[in-house]
Structure 1
Amino acid sequence: METKVLIVGAGLSGIMAARTLVERGVTDILLVEKSRSVGGRLATRRIGEGKADHGAQFFTVRSQKLEKEVESWLQEGWVRRWFGDAHPRYTGTEGMNALAKNLAEGLPVRLNTKTLSISEHPDGCELNLEGGGVIKADHVLITAPAPQAAELVGMEAPVTFHPCLVGLLTLEGPSRLPAPGHLDGVCLPHGVERIVDHMAKGISSTPVLSVYMTGEWSEEHFSESDEKVLARITDLVRPFWGEGNESKGQVKRWRYAEAAEVIDQPFLEAGNRTVLCGDAFLTKSDDSGKTRFESAYLSGRSAGEFLADRVAGIPE
């Protein structure tokens, strides 16, 4: 199989890069994704009758480019304002993964396809797949977390990432979290970064909590069994749902959740035909110093524009 531009990873950066290429007239593209769904860390899980976001919970808007696009998403009914005044937190009306699926609608995506390595040659690139398949492309964009992307092309990782352990807890009755169903900051037990009640958030018909642990706590306990991790998390946050309100749960493991440091450019050339981008790659005007939804969006857009010009033969 051959294509003009191959995008590895169908998370937000990959989706936005693909949309940008198509908007610029480059339609001979393919996204390959190792998971069974697009979205990456825009992840939503059904749990019984309930539902929970367990990656990104919301996003904020600081750039004019994203602000303009969010206006169209609001009109489509894909997102809504959740809470916050100075910088409103937006969230997917049906969960964050539904937003990713809406954005990927109509794009050529190949799911359940794991990339093992990528080699670059003077006349193109070859993507070696698990199971022995090969895809050839003129150009490759890798949007996986930087350590994984670097491994695919045999280079040193430009940044390191913190992990994140997330407890997904289904309750028998309502939690004690106040509206809007979100808590973070100093009011939480040591090791807990954020708690979200998805019934209060408005995407679940039953009370389901997502409990995010800090990078330091997650690193310390990442090698433990799910059962042990879940017991630790439950003990820490039990006061937030009250006596007699029983829970059952599961654990989601994000090995690469947040970059420990960021790269001060929206994408990185890893060869003459290979480009890396993602949420750890920040635009020059981004002074937040943090990986987030918006940095992934802007990085994907920038990489897509760069590749569109390269395909068209426009000098850099």
Structure 2
Amino acid sequence: MRIAIIGAGMAGLSCGQRLAEGGHEVELFDKGRAAGGRMSTRRMEAQGETLRFDHGAQYFTARDPGFTEQVRHWADLGIVGRWPSAGPEAWVGTPAMNAPLRHMAEALDPAFSVRIESISKQSGGWQLHGDGAPTKNYDAVVIALPAEQAAPMLAPHDQSMARIADTTEADPCWTVMAAFAQPLDFTPNTLRDQGPIGWAARNNSKPGRESQECWVIQAEPEWSRNHLEDDAATIESALLGHLEQAIETSLPPRVASSAHRWRYARSGSAGKDYMWDKANAIGVCGDWLIAPRVESAWVSGRMLAEAVLEVN
């Protein structure tokens, strides 16, 4: 079959990888400029140097046997490594969090900067609509988007799926990325649950990173929700102030900083592995179906692909 996958995060890439292995023609589309999703890496230029920040998922673990095998393969390729600062089971992409996704995308060649707004089904098959959408027909379509974006796309075609997506809400997260002229006078590489700060980490303590002192500060969900519409400069100042309070010492001069708002940062859990309507050839995968973990996204995409392969 010719299958369209909307979303090139971990779930979409995992699904596409397995479907391609099974002999299907797979085409992926993503509104972003590169593979990443919640595992995105942000670049900033400062003093002639390129700084990288893992501003989404900070690390991942591997417990599912299939995902554990996949992570071992990535480790053999040198694109993931252990990060003891986050715990004995923590893995990160190297040299950036999105390294495994970039590797998966190489074989699948997703179309980036393509925003699919809706889908429709005609006698010839599924069609995609949106800025940059192709005009061809597809035998099946997979939606690998956050629940909030999947729901309206599903509504005209499968009310049951749409209802599940519509009632599975994600938590938002404001994230500040900051590079400093010198290391913070703070020995641990991570900080958790300190007032408005849900998580803060010394990004350069991860394997394969640059030496510049770089921090990622993520606000906890309720604080992010209460300040969701604040401007980025206000958020940046507030979270850096809270970091200074948490480590009980003044922050060094900044060389670069930025704030990013994740509206759908930490997914909910619908209590399912995937959704697949065989009769209409439409499927859904994503971490929000299982649990808010990188592993869940990979497993969901893989399981949906196996369900498609089982009947085709």
What TM-score do you get using the length of structure 1 for normalisation?
0.87
Contact 1:120 1:274 (C-alpha < 8 Å) held by counterparts: no
Does 1:201 find its partner at 2:209? no
Report what 1:163 is aligned to: 172
Contact 2:92 2:206 (C-alpha < 8 Å) held by counterparts: no
Report what 2:52 is aligned to: 51
Report what 1:230 is aligned to: 236
Report what 1:8 is aligned to: 6
Following superposition, the deviation at residue 35 of structure 1 comes to 0.7
Following superposition, the deviation at residue 34 of structure 1 comes to 0.5
Pair 1:244–1:81, CA change in 2 (3 A): closer
Counterpart residue type for residue 55 of structure 1: G
CA RMSD of aligned residues (A): 2.1
What TM-score do you get using the length of structure 2 for normalisation?
0.88
Report what 2:289 is aligned to: 281
Distance in 1 between residues matched to 2:200 and 2:184, nearest whole Å: 11
Runs of 5+ unmatched residues, structure 2: 156-161
Contact 1:177 1:197 (C-alpha < 8 Å) held by counterparts: no
Pair 1:244–1:302, CA change in 2 (3 A): closer
Q: How big is each residue's C-alpha offset from its partner over 1:215-237, in whole Å with a ceiling of 9 and x where there is no partner? A: 11111101011111111111111
Report what 2:22 is aligned to: 24
Following superposition, the deviation at residue 12 of structure 1 comes to 0.4
Report what 2:196 is aligned to: 191
Report what 1:254 is aligned to: 262
Pair 1:85–1:243, CA change in 2 (3 A): closer
Report what 1:265 is aligned to: 272
Does 1:245 find its partner at 2:242? no
Counterpart residue type for residue 11 of structure 2: S
Q: How big is each residue's C-alpha offset from its partner over 1:121-170, in whole Å with a ceiling of 9 and x where there is no partner? A: 46521110126754421111001101101112223414111111101111
Does 1:176 find its partner at 2:185? yes
Contact 1:175 1:241 (C-alpha < 8 Å) held by counterparts: no
Distance in 2 between residues matched to 1:87 and 1:281, nearest whole Å: 26
Distance in 2 between residues matched to 1:85 and 1:182, nearest whole Å: 7
Distance in 2 between residues matched to 1:94 and 1:241, nearest whole Å: 31
Aligned length: 296
Distance in 1 between residues matched to 2:123 and 2:52, nearest whole Å: 48
Contact 1:61 1:294 (C-alpha < 8 Å) held by counterparts: yes
Distance in 1 between residues matched to 2:90 and 2:38, nearest whole Å: 17
Distance in 1 between residues matched to 2:53 and 2:205, nearest whole Å: 11
Following superposition, the deviation at residue 97 of structure 1 comes to 1.3
Counterpart residue type for residue 249 of structure 1: S
Query: Aligned ranges for residues 122-141 of structure 1 at < 5 Å?
Result: 123-130=124-131, 134-141=135-142
Contact 1:31 1:108 (C-alpha < 8 Å) held by counterparts: yes
Following superposition, the deviation at residue 41 of structure 1 comes to 1.1
Following superposition, the deviation at residue 101 of structure 1 comes to 0.2
Counterpart residue type for residue 285 of structure 2: C
Does 1:306 find its partner at 2:307? yes
Higher helix share: 2
Report what 1:220 is aligned to: 226
Pair 1:244–1:175, CA change in 2 (3 A): closer
Identity of aligned residues (%): 27
Runs of 5+ unmatched residues, structure 1: 283-289
Pair 1:85–1:257, CA change in 2 (3 A): closer
Following superposition, the deviation at residue 44 of structure 1 comes to 0.8
Following superposition, the deviation at residue 207 of structure 1 comes to 1.0
Counterpart residue type for residue 268 of structure 1: M
Report what 2:159 is aligned to: none
Counterpart residue type for residue 211 of structure 2: S
Pair 1:206–1:122, CA change in 2 (3 A): same
Query: Aligned ranges for residues 290-305 of structure 1 at < 5 Å?
Result: 290-305=291-306
Distance in 2 between residues matched to 1:89 and 1:231, nearest whole Å: 30
Contact 1:11 1:143 (C-alpha < 8 Å) held by counterparts: yes
Contact 1:279 1:295 (C-alpha < 8 Å) held by counterparts: yes
